[in-house]
Amino acid sequence: MKNKVVGDCRQALADLRDRGILYDGCTVMVGGFGLCGIPEQLIIALRDTGVKEMTCVSNNAGVDDWGLGLLLQTRQIRKMVSSYVGENDTFEKQYLSGQLEVEFNPQGTLAERIRAGGAGIPAFYTPSGAGTMVAQGKPSGSFAPPLSRARVNHEAAIEREYVLETGLYADLSLVKAFRADPFGNLVYRKTARNFSPMMATAAAFVVAEVEELVGLGEIPPDSVHTPGAFVDRIVRTVSEKRIEQRTVQS
């Protein structure tokens, strides 16, 4: 089977401009929740490519000096599609000054938009955000939600408003995993699993940053979170694992 391991993060992205995957104005998905499970070294390598005007799909924008905050510092991000960005002063300043476009999503909606994109679903209806600013400019409709088996004979289905959300698909996804084999089968660790499994299915090209590499066949099939068929390249790094807000006893 193909060995997808490359030497370092720069090498993992080096030829993606020539292949039409990285270009000014491209869309990049970046896994992580806060600073947990972010592909931190790949983000630095992405910054160093000099690609501009990116649309970044990520739960958050990191902090000022780490994660996607590094790409905000260099003004390489034109638009963020996110659900939470409260830890980043640079993000706030660029948004309020009109330098950064933001598309906010309820967190579950963002996850489902990514999952839908990876599954080839162009759009779906959700009650989240219906009747709020989130729904402005989007089609909506009234539907009767499905009832559980226990309720179906006792209650009439009451219609409620749903908003139409589109699936998301990117040129490139950068994800972080705990363990991988040479083919790209990935295992995530605890909370660091977050958005990466969906993002690994929802891009034309996927690069995984991992902490451990094991031999082919050493990951039990039932333990694989992302099958290697979705992964194009793997790079092993040493993670810094910063903490957003460290709270200690005096």
Look up the pTM and report it: 0.92
Tell me which H or E stretch contains 71: helix 69-73
Instruction: For residues 189-195, give the mean pLDDT.
Output: 94
Region 5-107+167-236: CATH code:
3.40.1080.10
- Average pLDDT (214-237) is 97
Task: Say yes or no to pLDDT of 241 above 90.
Answer: no
Of 74, 35, 36, 32, the closest CA to residue 57 belongs to 32
Domain ranges of the chain: 5-107+167-236, 123-166
User: Sign of the C-alpha dihedral, residues 208, 211, 216, 218?
Assistant: negative
Taking only the tens place, the pLDDT of each residue in 65-77 is 999 999 999 999 9
- The pLDDT tens digits of the residues spanning 75-123 come to 999 999 999 887 789 999 999 999 999 999 999 999 999 999 999 999 9
pLDDT in the model for residue 144: 82
